[in-house]
Every structure is written in C-alpha cells, then in structure tokens.
C-alpha cells in the first residue's frame, strides 16, 4: 500500500514537494528463478524429425509433393519463357507510327497470352511426368534412373498422343533423352562439384 506522501517510483519530499529518484524496493526479474542456460533454449535441431522410422529411411518426396513441385516449376518456367517469347514478338511487331501507349499495350497482351499458353503446356507436362514417375516408383518399389527416363518417355508419348503415332514416338524419345541428360547431369554435379 502506498502512503499518502509516496508514489510508485520514489518518495515525495515533504519540504519541496518534488519526487526523489530513489527506488524504495527491489525490481522484479521474471527470469531469476528459471536457471536455464539461454544457449540451450535456442538450439533447435536442423535435421527433420520423423514420427515413424520408415519415413526417415525414404530419401524421396511424397507423390503429392512431387506432383505439386513439378507442376508448379513447369508452369513457372513455361510462363516466364512464354512471356519472353511474347515480348520479342511484340517488339518485332511494332510499327513506326505507333504511340508509346499502343506499344506497351501490345507488349502486355502478347506477353500475357504467350506466357499463359506456354505455362499451361509446361504445367501439364510436369503434372503428367510427376504422376507417371510416382506410379513407377510405387509399382517397381524402387527409385532409380530408369523410373525417371521411362516417365519422361511416357510423358512425351502421352502429351503428343493426339497428333498421331509418329509425333508421339518422337516426343517420347525427346522426353526420355531430356530426362536422361538431366538426371545424368545431376549425378555428375553431385559427384564432381563440391557444394
């Protein structure tokens, strides 16, 4: 209880009426009784924690994560490259009498249309590739180079199946070769490039 001549921060001087700078009690420290070293509080493990031991053995993303990753990456790469293609087409299509506003409109329309078209195609290719690869991993119960190459081959065939058997075979061969080169390049980088 505070007396009539005192306040929270100190005592009131009865002669001058000014507050003195003395503190009447000890300040409260909320951490004094914890006795925990502060370094241990913030040491968070950097490795992932698994609920089941089987999860820690698998060094692979789940099929849903794989599907989302490849579809998203495919759409992003396709949209950016399509927008670049649309930009080049719009710059080539400019005429000497066009105003600045008309040129900007042409660039935006062309980039947006080409980016959307190529992005959707690449996203669908990523979706098919992830689905086929995850199905192969499930059926074969192993994750190796063969799954990736066969998934690339199947994706190319499936993507161009409506164009006829010859186009599908060529697209399948291109898809298998592209994935084979990508996976082999990844292995070379892992082995010879110190990261």
- pLDDT by 10s per residue, the chain, length 195: 444 444 444 445 555 555 555 556 677 767 667 766 655 666 666 777 767 776 666 677 788 888 999 999 999 999 999 999 999 999 998 888 889 999 999 999 999 999 999 999 999 999 999 999 999 998 998 888 899 999 999 999 999 999 999 999 999 999 999 999 999 998 899 889 887
Predicted model pTM = 0.67
Instruction: Tell whether the torsion through CA atoms of 186, 188, 190 and 193 is positive or negative.
Output: negative
For residue 6, give the 3-state DSSP assignment. strand
Rounded distance between C-alpha atoms, residue 72 and residue 95, angstroms? 37
The DSSP secondary structure of 7-42, one letter per residue, reads -SSSBBPTTT-PBPS--SSPPP-TTTTT---HHHHT
Distance separating alpha carbons of residues 170 and 12, to the nearest angstrom: 94
């Amino acid at each position: 209880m505070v007396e009539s001549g005192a306040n929270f921060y100190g005592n009131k001087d009865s002669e001058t009426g000014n507050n003195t700078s003395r503190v009447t009690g000890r300040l409260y420290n909320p951490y004094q009784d914890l006795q925990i070293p502060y370094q241990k509080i913030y040491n968070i493990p950097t490795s992932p924690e698994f609920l089941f031991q089987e999860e820690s053995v698998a060094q692979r993303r789940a099929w849903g994560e794989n599907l989302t990753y490849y579809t998203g990456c495919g759409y992003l790469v396709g949209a950016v490259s399509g927008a670049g293609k649309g930009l080049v087409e719009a710059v080539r299509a400019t005429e000497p009498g066009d105003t600045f506003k008309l040129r900007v409109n042409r660039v935006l329309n062309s980039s947006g249309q080409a980016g959307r078209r190529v992005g959707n195609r690449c996203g669908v290719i990523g979706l098919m590739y992830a689905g086929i690869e995850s199905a192969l991993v499930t059926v074969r119960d192993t994750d190796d180079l063969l799954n990736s190459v066969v998934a690339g081959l199947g994706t190319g065939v499936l993507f161009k199946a409506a164009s006829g058997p010859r186009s599908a075979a060529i697209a399948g061969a291109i898809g298998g070769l592209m994935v084979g080169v990508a996976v082999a390049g990844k292995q070379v980088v892992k082995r010879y490039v110190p990261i």
